[in-house]
Structure 1
């Protein structure tokens, strides 16, 4: 149970935290390689073999999350391809109830994502979660991914909050480590970001499988 009495600001990730990561995993691991294979007349296995190291090299960098970058690199309309698969975009169970409870409690609620603005717009259009948030921040606004300390410094400069009374919920361990290094006091990981994959065994941070565990003890801010 979280120490809600000492939490004033709630920062939430989007993909894998609020939304099922199955969409993104299927998109990048299967759908993009398929279209890349068709474009270059490759087998699907060969396309995956060629793309894997290119994806790996960008992990943790802003380029990894940038649809414009990958559209240019792969000669594919990545934003358009995401539209084709938009039916797979899904909100994790019990997320809406949690967001409603945080709003009702009077705490500040921010969506803080590495998602490119085009991807963010598509997912908000499909889920309508934007109505819950005081602010929606994309790391592309700052030119730094959440894995970097500078992102958190810029976030605090633009959206004043106290580190000791701030909660971050995120499925990415590198992001949680960066936030921990910055000094955010309350950190929670998501153990099952992809509904079609097994739950992860996470020991580095407190971890929950769904948001019911976080809603316990959530009372109005005193």
Structure 2
């Protein structure tokens, strides 16, 4: 990505103190991967299947699905493919595979991970994605090579929005929150991480390449990974 399209980090402390950061905790969907796949699936493609299954219009399908989605947001059920397969009586994983070609890394992610790894950072993926969703994405994008661990919150039984997730993560991998950088596209999750005591936090300015940038409020935000790669090269 050309540097002219990649402005400096904004808000709070834009220059990260990399010598004081040992561990990188990185979200997957919207953070490393373009959220367009997930947004298109949940907001457009799945409603089409639901409409066909129930022989109703797409507009009616969305009217029925949106309240169901909102009711579960922030809970583990929202991210659970087994839950939605039961609730909607549709083969969610199979339907996801039909549009798996949309799964893609954000520009610059590979260079950033390579540089972070070369500088000896401990890199761990923490995602609310269901294990089957994680597996599907790993089939399409070779992420595993950069990570010490790939952790789905379903392993702990709590989403990242819950303090119990962070307590379970700490017990599992033993990291120093004061020397950790966490990047996520969800503001509620970043607030949960801040409550737990993680020192360095970054939001993602544009999780979905097909949507407008987000207002990230109280968090510094990365617009493209070249910003972080340039810092790591210093």
Q: Distance in 2 between matches of 1:31 and 1:16?
A: 18
Deviation at 1:40, TM superposition (A): 0.4
Aligned residue pairs: how many?
A: 220
Instruction: Give distance in 1, aligned partners of 2:42 and 2:197.
Output: 32
Matches within 5 A, 1:69-218: 69-218=83-232
**Correspondence for 1:58:** 72
Deviation at 1:110, TM superposition (A): 0.1
Aligned match of 1:27 in 16, 28, 41?
41
SS in 1 for 2:214: coil
Distance 1:203 1:36 in 2: 35
1:125 positional shift = 0.9
Q: Deviations over 1:18-41 (max 9, x none)?
A: 000000000000011000000000
The CA RMSD over aligned residues, in Å, is: 1.0
Structure 1 residue 107, shift from structure 2 partner: 1.0
- Is the CA contact 1:192–1:209 (under 8 Å) kept in the aligned structure 2? yes
Whole-angstrom distance in 2 between the partners of 1:219 and 1:155: 29
Distance 1:19 1:62 in 2: 20
For residue 219 of structure 1, report the CA deviation from its aligned partner: 5.6
SS in 2 for 1:198: coil
Q: Which runs of 5+ in 1 are unaligned?
A: none
Task: Find the aligned partners of 2:50 and 2:172 in 1 and give their Cα distance.
Answer: 39
TM-score, reference length from structure 1: 0.97
Report SS of the residue matched to 2:70: helix
CA distance in 1, matches of 2:114, 2:61: 43
The 8 Å contact of residues 111 and 133 in structure 1, kept in 2 or not, is answered as yes
1:193-221 Cα distance to aligned partner (Å, 9 max, x none)? 0000011122310001111112233269x
Q: Supply the distance in 1 between the matched residues of 2:110 and 2:233 (Cα, whole angstroms).
A: 17
The answer for unaligned runs of 5 or more in structure 2 is 1-14
Contact 1:94–1:210 (8 Å) recurs in 2: yes
TM-score if structure 2 supplies the norm length? 0.92
From 17, 24, 35, the equivalent of 1:10 is 24
SS at the partner of 1:167? strand
